[in-house]
Amino acid sequence: MPGAPMGNDNAAGHGLYRAKPARHVRVLPGVGRAEMAEYARDLSAGALWIAEALAGSLDPMVEHKDRKLIGLYASVAQELAQVAAELEGATGIKPAPLGGLTEEGFERLMAQEAKALELILNQCISAWKHIQDREEIEKDGLLRRGEDGWETNPVLGYLAAAMRSAKRIIARDGSEPRVEAVGN
């Protein structure tokens, strides 16, 4: 996951890079496909909320340097929704072998992936909820008044990357045979 630029504490202030974020999701090693699909759907909902809220906040008649974030978050929402569907068997998927991992290696892999996913999910959900709460209460979660007018919250550029990191771990679900998309 890419870090924030030196001296930028926006991401940390929103809970994105905290070791112990305000919101907490518990992910156990060996979590099943149904739970992984649920995590993906939750993050998809968060990304879609950000895309829709930004689209509603930015004046369509005014060119805005951060308008591309709307498309980015819409794309992240779609990617996560697709992963959820694939985990549930909705698209053409086939099992792929894990390779020659020993049972101990497999258990270690599951524990590491669960720990990584748990941290990323907690960070993403904390940042998204912080933005959502600020938007609903203060009307400054997505957009802020800057020196050159309204600008998007700087953490939005990092949150999409964090959601995609979670998507990659979710898509690699190793508790059951790994899957990969085939065909369309």
- Can you give the three-state secondary structure of 54-117, one letter per residue? HHHHCCCCCCCCCCHHHHHHHHHHHHHHHHHHHHCCCCCEEEECCCCCCHHHHHHHHHHHHHHH
* pLDDT given for residue 110 in this prediction: 74
Return the DSSP state at 5.
P
pLDDT at 129: 92
55 vs 164: CA distance, rounded Å: 21
pLDDT at 25 over 60: yes
pLDDT confidence of 15, banded at 50, 70, 90?
low
- Per-residue pLDDT, averaged over 49-75, amounts to 77
pLDDT score of 109 more than 70? no
The token pair that represents 81 in the structure block: 């929704």
| pTM, to two decimals | 0.59
Lowest-pLDDT range of 7-11, 70-74, 76-80: 7-11
Query: For a pLDDT cut of 70, what percent of the chain falls above it?
Result: 73
According to the model, what pLDDT value does residue 177 have? Answer: 39
| Residue, of 53 and 181, whose pLDDT is higher | 53
How many Cα atoms sit within 13 Å of 134 on the Cβ side? 18
pLDDT tier at 184, thresholds 50, 70, 90: very low
117 has a pLDDT exceeding 80: yes
Instruction: Note the pLDDT of residue 70.
Output: 81
